[in-house]
């Protein structure tokens, strides 16, 4: 993989090399995403024998930033500071970045961008960068869990499902260990692919992934399915949620009868075709409830239910509570002091008025 035309060489571009990196840590950020990026810089310095990179940390209101694991990072860069020594600022965020609405952060990011600092985001970080208006018309990626909410909120951003995107002075990463892939590409771009490969090898990361690689594991590994006939069916199910395919159509994809398809599902997944398809649709509905501002009616239609009442009945039967209760539970968990059941009701009323006007 590292001989001949390396994937690392693809990211060479006419941009200024990065020497100093700031990490803006939003409370609840994923520690792995942050560590994968900053440790690559440390390794580059050690392996080259030079101080190629320096890095700093900032957090909202200059308070210690607590990761989702409970680990805390102390800021050493003042929130709102001018660019000065920064070449790149990476926003690290996890949880539900759609709820982050700090106007001071957005203003700071815009100021740094005007001062020539490259701006990027890791995991949920691109959501905050986009909220600041810095990704309009740009190519970017975000963690797959945030994709539905991101698409709804930022239709003018060129969202991809890739591991990372280097679009000039906008740098985004889907999170997880992809941060190491992204930083390896940046190191290779600025200091040669040999050093980039050495950094990857240092962390036992023996397969250097290109930014365009997929975020999610292949279905055969994610679901533990080895039956080749089932794989196109499972992929089709995930791609057809709004208008679910019939069992006959799915069987035709697999090239088997409906009865044979049912047997194959029960053997591989320990549940029938309908049960699995329903579970996929309900999983997506919970994601939409938590990550978007879509109404319950809109979510019901987006996941293949004929009405909100049908959706609510099935949802309660499977999970033991209604979609509205799920909204309330999730909202309280995010910010119990600021939001509550009444806001959920108002959200639904607002959508109802919108539909009536339409």
Tokens of 141: 């990626």
Dihedral class, residue 157 (left if φ above 0, else alpha if ψ from -120 to 50, else beta):
beta
Spatial distance between the Cα atoms of 42 and 237, rounded to a whole number of angstroms? 43
323-334 and 341-357 helices cross at what angle (nearest 10)?
Answer: 120
pLDDT tens for each residue of the chain, 358 residues long: 333 444 444 444 446 789 999 999 999 999 999 999 999 999 999 999 999 999 999 999 899 999 999 999 999 999 998 877 899 999 999 888 988 999 999 999 999 999 999 999 999 999 999 999 999 999 999 998 888 889 888 999 999 989 999 999 999 999 999 999 999 999 999 999 899 999 999 998 877 776 656 555 566 667 778 888 998 999 899 889 999 999 999 999 999 999 999 999 999 999 999 999 999 999 889 888 887 778 899 899 989 999 999 999 999 999 999 999 887 876 665 543 334 444 444 444 444 444 444 4
Other Cβ atoms less than 10 A from the Cβ of 150: the count is: 25
Give the residues across from 89 on adjacent strands: 22, 119
Q: What are φ and ψ of residue 173, in 5° steps? A: -140, 140
Q: Is the pTM of this model over 0.75?
A: no
- What is the DSSP-derived secondary structure letter of residue 113? H
């Amino acid at each position: 993989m590292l001989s001949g035309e390396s994937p690392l060489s693809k990211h060479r571009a006419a941009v200024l090399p990065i020497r100093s990196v700031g990490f803006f840590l939003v409370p609840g950020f994923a520690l792995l995403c942050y560590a994968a990026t900053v440790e690559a810089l440390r390794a580059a310095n050690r392996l080259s024998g030079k101080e190629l990179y320096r890095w700093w940390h900032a957090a909202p209101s200059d308070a210690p930033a607590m990761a989702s694991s409970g680990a805390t990072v102390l800021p050493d860069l003042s929130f709102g500071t001018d660019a000065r020594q920064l070449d790149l600022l990476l926003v690290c965020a996890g949880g539900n970045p759609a709820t982050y609405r700090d106007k001071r952060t957005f203003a700071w990011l815009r100021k740094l961008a005007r001062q020539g600092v490259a701006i990027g985001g890791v995991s949920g970080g691109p959501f905050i960068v986009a909220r600041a208006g810095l990704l309009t018309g740009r190519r970017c990626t975000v963690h797959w869990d945030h994709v539905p909410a991101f698409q709804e909120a930022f239709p003018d951003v060129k969202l991809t499902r890739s591991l990372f995107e280097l679009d000039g002075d906008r740098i985004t990463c889907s999170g997880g260990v992809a941060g190491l892939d992204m930083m390896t590409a940046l190191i290779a771009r600025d200091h040669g692919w040999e050093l980039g490969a050495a950094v990857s090898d240092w962390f036992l990361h023996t397969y250097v992934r290109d930014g365009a690689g997929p975020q999610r594991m292949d279905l055969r590994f994610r679901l533990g399915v080895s039956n080749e006939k089932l794989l196109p069916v499972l992929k089709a199910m995930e791609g057809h949620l709004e208008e679910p395919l019939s069992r006959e159509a799915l069987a035709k994809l697999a090239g088997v009868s409906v009865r044979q398809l049912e047997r194959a599902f029960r053997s591989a997944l320990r549940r029938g075709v309908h049960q699995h398809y329903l579970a996929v649709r309900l999983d997506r509905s919970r994601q939409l409830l938590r990550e978007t501002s879509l109404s319950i009616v809109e979510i019901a239609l987006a996941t293949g239910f004929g009405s909100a009442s049908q959706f609510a009945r099935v949802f309660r039967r499977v999970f033991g509570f209604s979609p509205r209760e799920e909204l309330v539970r999730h909202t309280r968990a995010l910010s119990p002091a600021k939001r509550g059941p009444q806001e959920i009701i108002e959200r639904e009323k607002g959508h109802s008025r919108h539909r009536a006007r339409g």
